[in-house]
Amino acid sequence: MPLRHELDALDHEVLASLPDGLPGADPEGWWPTSRAQARAQLDHVITHVLPGFGPYEDAMSARNWHLGHTLLSAPLNLGLLLPGEVLDRVDAAYRAGGVPLASAEGLVRQILGWREYVWGVYWWRGAEYARRNDLDAGAPLAPVYTEGVTEMHCVASVLRDVDDHGWTHHIPRLMVLGNLALLAGLSPQALTAWMHERFVDGADWMMVPNVVGMALHADGGEMATKPYAAGGAYIDRMSDFCTGCRYDRTKRVGNDACPFTTLYWDFLQRHRERLLRNPRVARQVRAFDRLADAARIPERASEMRAALAAGRC
């Protein structure tokens, strides 16, 4: 269980100053708001969380909102912790024999590898990067993101976590929330603005490259060498979300076809010319031609995008 911090007088003062009607649940103390709390959370992470981080860092579950994650992104982005001190603690714990290599390596890679890479991309590419939209994705943000009403079990579960905690870890962000926006052709700038609003760790330098570059491939591949598009099979493999969902992840057409599966194949076909030039996804693009129901996919995908726009998916 994550460490919980008591809300202090300043926390309550800030909460009392906020206007009514803001989205999200009231804070419950999951996020440090002082240097002392951040250091206490780091101590807790090294002892109780880090040993199990590696095996589960990419898993998703409707039954657990944090899994083996550290919840250190918010204090790191607020400057309550420094990346170097976290890395030093991880290294020391591994060398002392208390943390498996996969867990130590996984967290070092997340901070020193990915976090610092994202920081570099943001400052290297400049303000213009936030406006990139190389796939010409212009659909407005679907109502499901703001209202949370959907029959897609994965999306409903992730949005519930965001509403309850102002956070979900990197795989639900990328492969559920970002993936849906990518496949449906939603505006990168609209999704970035929404994530800024809803996530406790939503610093501009972090959100812009992760949404524009990584999730929506709106920079044409400058940050990531392929679009992170996936159908229902990926979500089923990495989570328990598909259990009990009214949509069938194996179906591409029909009323019970999984929107992720249908939109995935339609995405590959809509951007066929561009993606055939990418060796990392060209094989999947060519596989579209061998699907028995290929001719029916574009129409079903169009119906799904319309349903998303109307808040009925």
| Mean pLDDT value across residues 80-96 | 98
Task: Name every residue whose Cβ is closer than 8 Å to that of residue 59 and which is 6 or more positions away in sequence.
Answer: 67, 171, 238, 239
Find the angle CA(238)-CA(235)-CA(303) to the nearest 5 degrees.
180
| Mean pLDDT value across residues 246-269 | 98
Position of tokens 């992104």? 73
Assess whether pLDDT exceeds 90 at residue 1.
Answer: no
- The neighbour count for residue 118, using CB atoms within 10 Å, is 19
CATH number of 143-309: 1.10.579.10
* Higher pLDDT among residues 1 and 221, named by residue: 221
| Mean pLDDT value across residues 95-115 | 96
- The pLDDT, as a whole number, for residue 157 is 98
Q: C-alpha 1: how far from its chain's center?
A: 21
| Mean pLDDT value across residues 93-111 | 97
| Mean pLDDT value across residues 104-123 | 96
Residues of the chain with pLDDT > 90, as a percent, come to 98
CB burial string 2-37: b at 16+ within 10 A, e below = bbebeeeeebeeeeeeeeeeeeeeebeebbbbeeeb
| Mean pLDDT value across residues 49-76 | 95
Rounded to two decimals, what is the model's pTM?
0.96
- The neighbour count for residue 95, using CB atoms within 10 Å, is 10
Question: What tens digit of pLDDT does each residue of 199-236 get?
Answer: 999 999 999 999 999 999 999 999 999 999 999 999 99
Residues of the chain with pLDDT > 70, as a percent, come to 100
Assess whether pLDDT exceeds 90 at residue 133.
Answer: yes
Per-domain boundaries in the chain: 9-16+28-125, 143-309
CATH number of 9-16+28-125: 1.25.40.80
Assess whether pLDDT exceeds 90 at residue 145.
Answer: yes
| Mean pLDDT value across residues 154-175 | 97
Report the alpha-carbon distance of residue 295 to residue 290 in Å, rounded. 11
